[in-house]
A and B are shown apart, each in its own frame.
Chain A
C-alpha cells in the first residue's frame, strides 16, 4: 500500500486540512479555467525547459499541477536537518579525497571507486577551494514511503537544475490563488536567489578585493536549461556569460564589456567539468575559457561547483554516503539510503540476476530515467535484453528494490486522484549551510506510474512548508 500524503484512510492529515476544503469547493469549470490560465502564464514567461539530463524538446512545457504538496513544520525540520547533514558530509568527503584520502585509508570506501572514478579530477588534487567547499548547490532527490520514512534516491553535487520551477510554481500559485496564501501560513521560498548570491559571494577567492563579482556561466541559449540560467542571473542581479565572454590574462579572469575588461571573482558554472577549460580538459570544447583552471588553482577565481565535485554524486559512491556521515561527522544519518546492490560484488551480482523482475537496475552514470530497468514494469523480453547488457559490464550497474513512492492528490481529468511524487530540495553551502523551506516536487501524472521525469509524463507542483 502506498503512503497517501493527504489522507489517512478517510481522515485528512494535518498538513492538508485547509486545502481539503479548497478542493471540495472548487467547481470543475473554475478548475479548468484556472488550469488554462496557469498554462498561459507559463507560456508567456517562456519557462520551457528540461530538468537536468532528461533531454527532450527544449521548448516543451512541463505540466503544472495546481494542487500543492504540503509539509508540516515538524516534518520539514527533520528533513532539513537530514539534508544539511548530508550536504556537510558530501563536502567533507570531497575535501578528503582531494587531500589525504583518510576515508580510503581507513578502508571505508574502496580506493578504486574513488580514484578510478570518471568524475575524479586529478587536475585539482591538493588544491582546497575557499572555505573548503566543493559543491555549493546540492540537489538531493528524496522519496517518501511513510509518515517518517524518507529515502534519498540520489545526490546531485554538480549543477542540479529545477530551482526555477520551485520559484515559478510558487509565483504562479500566489498570482492565481492569493486567498490560499492569506488563509495558510506558508513559508516563503523567494529568498532563494538572494541566498544563492550571498553563498557564492562568501566563497570568493583570496585574491579578491572588495565586493566579489559573481557571474553565471551558461553553455548558451541552445541549452535546455538556458531559461533557468537567465532567470537566476536576473533575480540575483549578476551577469549571465558564455565562455567567449570571458578570457584569462595574467592571474585573473575577465569578462568582455562595452567599457573594456572587468575582473570576475566567482563563476557559477552551469556546464560540465569537461567543457570549462579546453587547455585542461576537452580540447575540442568551444564552451569554456582557455586557461581558466590555472587561474582557479592559483586562487584568482572561484568555480562553483568546484571541478571534480562530481565524484561525490555518482551511483557507486552513493551507497557510501551514510558511511561518510558516520566517518566525518560522527553522527547517525538522519536520511536513509535506498538499499542498493552493487553488481561488481559477487554476492550482489548473483542476487540481482536472480531477481531482476522485482528490482530497479540503473547505470552508475546514467540519469533521467534512461538506461534503467524497472523490473516489475518490464516484459520478459526487456528483462532478458537488459540482462545481456549487465553481463557485458557488471560494474556499470547498481540495483535497488522498487520503492512504494508516496502519493499526493493531483488534478486529473476526472477530478482529483492520488499520483506518485518525489522531492528535490536545493541545499546551499558556503560560509553557512542553508536551505529554503521548499523544493521541486515532481509528480508522475500517469496513473500508477512511478517515473516522475518530465520526459516520461511527469509534471510539477508547488511545494509548501507550513509555518508554526
Chain B
C-alpha cells in the first residue's frame, strides 16, 4: 500500500520527538550533576548557561525566566509547553503525530505513547529529582521504542520512524558532547584535571554509557577516549557513527523499497557522511577542534533531514 507523504512525515517526527524528549531529560540530568561541583569562577550558573547554549534555547530562557536556577531549569526543560524542546512538548507532539496516523501504528505503540503522555501530564515540577525524572522519561521512551521494534510491520512507515530516531539521536549525542565544550570553554587549564575527568563521567552517565565505556576502554576516562567512544565507536549505541549508520540503513531500505525513480538525495548524503566518518580518527577531530567538528556534524544532520523532507514528504505536486 502506498503511503501518504503526511503520514510518513508524522511517523518521522514521532521518532524524532520521542528521542528529543529523552535528550531533554538527559541534558537536564547532566546539568544537575555538573552543578554539584563548584568548579568555575562564575559558579554553577555557568553550566546551565552552557547547557542552554548547546540546545540553542538561551534567548527563550532569558526572556521567559531570567534566573538560572535548577528549579527554573526543571520547569523549562521538562514541563514548559512554550519550549518546543521540553520533555512535555516532545511527548505531546509525538502523541499528536501518533493520533494523526493512528491507523499506521499498532495498538501497542499507541498505548505506550498514550500512557506516557497521560503520566507526563499528571506530573508536577518539583516532585522528582533530576535523576528520577531522567529515569522516568527513559523508561517511557524505552517502552515506546520497544513497542515499535516488537510490533510494527517492517514497512516504509517503520523505516521513517526509525530514521527519525536515528537522525535525532545523532543530533542529540552531538549536542550533549557540545555541552562539555561549553562548560570547559572559559578555563582551558582544567583539561586533564580530576574535574575534567569527572565531567566526562557525567556525560557518559547521562548517555547511560558509563558501564559500556569501562567495558570497552578500561578505567581511564580521558577526553580523547570518551570522545572516541561517543563519536567513532561503531559499537556504542548512541555514538555519532552508529547513529549515522542506522540512518543510512533505513534510507537504504527505503531506496530498495521504492526503487531508484524516487529521489534519494538523503541516502546519498548519509552515505557520504558515513564514508567520511569511517575514515576519521579522533586526533584529527581534536586538531580540527571538537566544537567545530560537532557544529559541522549537527549542520550536516540537519541537511540530511531536509533532504528526507524533499525526497519523501513533499509528494511532488
Structural contact, A255 and B315, CB atoms closer than 8 A: yes
Cβ-based interface call for B62 (8 A): no
- Sort chain B's interface into a size bin: 20 to 34
A121 to chain B, nearest CB (A): 26
**Chain A 228-266 interface 0/1 with B at a Cβ cutoff of 8 Å (1 = within):** 001001100101111011010100001111111110000
Asked if B99 is at the interface of the complex by the 8 Å CB criterion, the answer is yes
Instruction: Give a binary string over A351-379; 1 marks a CB under 8 Å from any B CB, 0 the rest.
Output: 00000000000000000000000000000
7 A-B contacts (beta carbon < 8 Å):
A46-B110, A230-B103, A233-B103, A239-B2, A240-B103, A247-B317, A256-B5
List B contacts of A241 (CB < 8 A). Answer: 4, 6
Cβ-based interface call for B102 (8 A): yes
A304 CB to nearest chain B CB (Å): 19
Query: What's the least CB distance linking B106 to chain A, in Å?
Result: 12
Closest CB of chain B to A230's CB: distance in Å? 5
Contact of A257 (CB < 8 Å), options: B2, B96, B111:
B2
User: Residue A100 at the B interface, CB < 8 A?
Assistant: no
B312 adjacent to chain A (CB < 8 Å): yes
Contact A257 B315 (CB under 8 A): yes
Residue in A46, A230, A247, A257 whose CB lies within 8 Å of B4 = A257
Q: Is the CB of A256 within 8 A of B114?
A: no
Contact B258 A256 (CB under 8 A): no
B100 interfacial by beta-carbon distance below 8 Å: yes
**Bound Cα distance from A245 to B9, whole angstroms:** 12
Asked if A25 CB lies within 8 Å of chain B CBs, one says no
Per the 8 Å Cβ criterion, residues 8-48 of A in contact with B are 44-46
A256/B316 in contact, CB under 8 A: yes
Cβ of B156 within 8 Å of any chain A Cβ, yes or no, is yes
Asked if A221 lies at the interface with its beta carbon under 8 angstroms from chain B, I say: yes
Count class of interface residues, chain A: 20 to 34
* Nearest-Cβ distance from residue A248 to partner chain B, whole angstroms: 9
Q: Judge if B191 is at the interface, Cβ distance under 8 Å.
A: no
CB-based A-B contact count at 8 angstroms: 69
- Judged by a CB distance under 8 angstroms, whether B3 is at the interface is yes
Whether B314 is near chain A, meaning CB under 8 Å from some CB there, is yes
- What distance in Å separates the Cβ of B308 from its nearest Cβ neighbour in chain A? 10
Tell me the complex Cα distance, A254–B2, Å: 13
Asked if A245 and B262 make an inter-chain contact with CB atoms under 8 angstroms apart, the answer reads no
Contact A258 B258 (CB under 8 A): yes
CA of A340 to CA of B4, assembled, Å: 48
Chain B nearest CB from A236 CB (Å) reads 10
Please give me the residue from chain A that is nearest to B316 by CB atom: A260
Given contact pairs A245-B315, A260-B316, A261-B317, A255 touches B102 in the complex (Cβ within 8 A) = no
Report whether A259 and B2 are in contact in the complex, using a CB–CB cutoff of 8 Å: yes
Closest chain-B Cβ to A293's Cβ sits at a distance in Å of: 18
Q: Is B8 an interface residue (CB 8 A)?
A: yes
Name the residue of chain A whose CB is nearest to the CB of B99.
A221
CA distance A240 to B104 in the complex (A): 11
Closest 7 A-B residue pairs measured CB to CB?
A256-B315, A247-B317, A234-B103, A256-B5, A258-B312, A257-B2, A258-B8
User: Could you give, for residues 69-113 of chain B, a 1 whenever the CB lies within 8 Å of some chain A CB and a 0 otherwise?
Assistant: 000000000000000000000000000100110110001001100
Least distance between B220 CB and chain A CB atoms (Å) = 47
Q: Tell me the A192-247 residues at the B interface (CB within 8 Å).
A: 221, 230, 233-234, 237, 239-242, 244-245, 247
- Distance in Å: Cβ of A41 to nearest Cβ of chain B: 12
Closest approach, in angstroms, between the C-beta of B277 and any C-beta of chain A? 27
